[in-house]
A and B are shown apart, each in its own frame.
Chain A
């Protein structure tokens, strides 16, 4: 699960990690009021940022630095009335309903900091780079040695000496070192306690010296969190941050029925049991020249109702010109699927060709059920194996 930047800032602030002052607003008026409040506190710059999960905001004009209330009004109005289009959004763009208005910060240095689950080491790892403000993938490609890693002990977590070592390696000496150590330790604690799978502060900035902070301050400017979906049952605060408007409606609907669905761009709908087989079904469609319209795993013990719902969701995608059903019945009984197909033909209706490949438990009964229903489902073909199924469905939509 992902959250918005303003929510990430809130989690950091609650954990005692310093962030610039600011607030989330939903109207132009509130954006202006917050800007005035920040300017009145002595700040010279205010940043206004559209709150959407997709990246590419800056280039799209949805991150703006402003110096006056009038500029804030123009920027906020633009963001709240135009759809944001970037390489990471759908072509029609995204509607923006929330803005983050925050104090602009003078920057002496930008640093990258993240904690993630390192699958190979099977533990959480603190990652940092002196090259903040750019994407870590870019750094990894150009200068992998610039990426510093410190694995966290799976049980003890991040220890102070590790945080210190990392801060020194980043060139944070003197009082800045203590600030960074405090921040890294708090971040590691937050990561673990919130069941995050990724937290990224990019950039973490060092501000220039001021009278109040002669050595500068370490501040988290932009933060991104991903959370482990499996742990949301025990993360009430995080779960409450879920924004359904950021998700694909069909994917959410599928989840309600225990189905795992991912929308894709092709025209062949897939209904499969098991995640690995569902992915492979997409692959074999592509291999035979077709394009899959979706990933759909009905699970090992789906009810007839869930299967019917799965057909409904697949067919709700107007691009779908054919459907491939691929079931290897282990625990799932093929006759149950066959009954669901016959039932769905009545309740949902198949206006597109349907190719069915069933194998495994109770396949004999299943084939008999489908044979008996052939007249009612004229667009249905049965396949003898995976390759036959893929060829038939690709031919049917060609």
Chain B
């Protein structure tokens, strides 16, 4: 079990002929994801470098392949349109990797998605979603995996399936930041904790899938033993998630909030990472989470050890696999 996607999920790539789309389609295929085709308007009927069929429209691609998920690498001016095209074609999980989509496009797109209740938008400006597979051969970056589904740009090999985890435990990870998610994955894998599913919800101010959406799914997923939630400055999603956790969550949650040292009014890389007032500072979010009884790691280096503690596990890091 897992959330959102699993080893049977058939996946498309919108923008498959662009350099990023092509590169990461190969990366996903190498990880074992069931990539079934791509979309680039005007190139329908051709094949990509991996022999995958290319379609003019998402509707054509869905009809021919039965895909239920997509990853979008379309450039920012056209990306919001691609999200809605995927939703209208009946795609259930839409991962918008594209960084730099105008906020007003996302305001409009979020509202338009109300017409497509079966569609979950992840992102934009995110690394995507991964349900790790189990290792079948090799070590490190060249290891081979089976039964997993990687949709996006994260390095697959750092993830650990429960079967390969020495503690026998697996946690869900949800984060606004890409590399910080990798950090959490790495630290848990090092300690023999696997991951059920990791979702990067993205760094933009207006996005799809949020912390509470993920927490709800993880709460009900029998294969998730705990959750690591990684937030940052800007907005109040973490505070709302903390209230939700206190009222509903049956599994341990470890949180981290990036940006304690960020100056107010400055955009820190992510479009959404900007302190606008007293309530969206890292300190305010940390205090609010702690008031709700949630363990918040002071250091980004303590994500793995805090999760060990939360799961009542003891022991030392097992070292690199």
Q: Enumerate chain A interface residues (CB-CB to B < 8 A).
A: 117, 119-120, 122-124, 137, 153-155, 192, 195, 197, 228-231, 233-234, 260, 262, 264, 272-287, 292, 295, 297, 300, 328-331, 359-362, 364, 385-387, 390
Instruction: Output the residue of B102, B127, B233, B272 with the most chain A CB within 10 A.
Output: B102
Q: A228-B103, A284-B301 are in contact. Are A276 and B203 (CB under 8 A)?
A: yes
Task: Give me 21 A-to-B residue pairs in the complex whose CB atoms sit less than 8 angstroms apart, sorted by A's number.
Answer: A119-B205, A119-B235, A119-B237, A123-B107, A155-B108, A192-B104, A228-B102, A233-B76, A262-B263, A272-B179, A275-B273, A276-B175, A276-B230, A276-B232, A276-B258, A277-B179, A278-B268, A279-B269, A285-B261, A360-B182, A386-B183
Please state if B299 and A195 are interface contacts (CB–CB under 8 Å): no
Which chain A positions have C-beta within 8 A of B273? 275-276, 279
The 8 closest A-B pairs by CB, nearest first: A276-B177, A275-B269, A274-B179, A154-B111, A231-B102, A276-B180, A280-B300, A386-B301
Q: Enumerate chain B interface residues (CB-CB to A < 8 A).
A: 76-77, 100-108, 110-112, 127, 140-141, 153-155, 158, 175-183, 186, 203, 205-206, 230, 232-237, 240, 256, 258-263, 266-273, 277, 282, 298-301
Please state if B104 and A280 are interface contacts (CB–CB under 8 Å): no
Which chain A positions have C-beta within 8 A of B76? 230, 233
**Choice from A276, A287, A361 contacting B178 with Cβ under 8 Å:** A276
Please state if B141 and A361 are interface contacts (CB–CB under 8 Å): yes
Please state if A229 and B271 are interface contacts (CB–CB under 8 Å): yes
CA distance A262 to B240 in the complex (A): 29
Which chain A positions have C-beta within 8 A of B176? 276
Please state if B104 and A279 are interface contacts (CB–CB under 8 Å): no
CA distance A285 to B108 in the complex (A): 40
A195 CB, nearest partner CB in chain B, Å: 6
Q: Is the interface of A mostly helix, strand, loop or mixed?
A: mixed
A249 CB, nearest partner CB in chain B, Å: 16
CA distance A386 to B106 in the complex (A): 35
Q: A120-B236, A276-B230, A295-B268 are in contact. Are A330 and B178 (CB under 8 A)?
A: yes
**Choice from B111, B154, B155, B262 contacting A282 with Cβ under 8 Å:** B262
**Choice from B108, B177, B261 contacting A274 with Cβ under 8 Å:** B177
Q: Which residue of A lies closest to B100 (CB)?
A: A230
Which chain B positions have C-beta within 8 A of A283? 258-261, 282, 299-300
> Total A-B pairs in contact (CB under 8 Å)?
174
Please state if A284 and B175 are interface contacts (CB–CB under 8 Å): no
Q: A276-B180, A361-B141 are in contact. Are A297 and B269 (CB under 8 A)?
A: yes
Which chain B positions have C-beta within 8 A of A275? 177, 203, 232, 268-270, 273
Q: Which residue of A lies closest to B104 (CB)?
A: A195
Q: Which residue of A lies closest to B271 (CB)?
A: A230
Which chain A positions have C-beta within 8 A of B106? 122
**Choice from B127, B186, B272 contacting A360 with Cβ under 8 Å:** B186
Which chain A positions have C-beta within 8 A of B260? 283, 286
CA distance A94 to B76 in the complex (A): 36
CA distance A307 to B266 in the complex (A): 22
Which chain B positions have C-beta within 8 A of A330? 127, 153-155, 158, 178-179, 182
CA distance A192 to B177 in the complex (A): 28
**Choice from B110, B112, B233 contacting A279 with Cβ under 8 Å:** B233
Please state if A274 and B180 are interface contacts (CB–CB under 8 Å): yes
Q: Which residue of A lies closest to B176 (CB)?
A: A276
Please state if A195 and B103 are interface contacts (CB–CB under 8 Å): yes
Please state if B77 and A233 are interface contacts (CB–CB under 8 Å): yes
Please state if B258 and A279 are interface contacts (CB–CB under 8 Å): yes
CA distance A280 to B176 in the complex (A): 13
Which chain A positions have C-beta within 8 A of B240? 120
Please state if A360 and B155 are interface contacts (CB–CB under 8 Å): yes
CA distance A231 to B205 in the complex (A): 14
CA distance A360 to B179 in the complex (A): 10
CA distance A195 to B266 in the complex (A): 19
Please state if B261 and A282 are interface contacts (CB–CB under 8 Å): yes
A128 CB, nearest partner CB in chain B, Å: 18
CA distance A284 to B153 in the complex (A): 26
**Choice from B107, B155, B267, B270 contacting A276 with Cβ under 8 Å:** B270
B44 CB, nearest partner CB in chain A, Å: 27
Which chain B positions have C-beta within 8 A of A292? 261
Which chain B positions have C-beta within 8 A of A230? 76, 100-103, 271
Please state if B230 and A137 are interface contacts (CB–CB under 8 Å): no
CA distance A234 to B273 in the complex (A): 23
Please state if B183 and A387 are interface contacts (CB–CB under 8 Å): no
B241 CB, nearest partner CB in chain A, Å: 12
Please state if A119 and B206 are interface contacts (CB–CB under 8 Å): yes
**Choice from B107, B183, B256 contacting A124 with Cβ under 8 Å:** B107
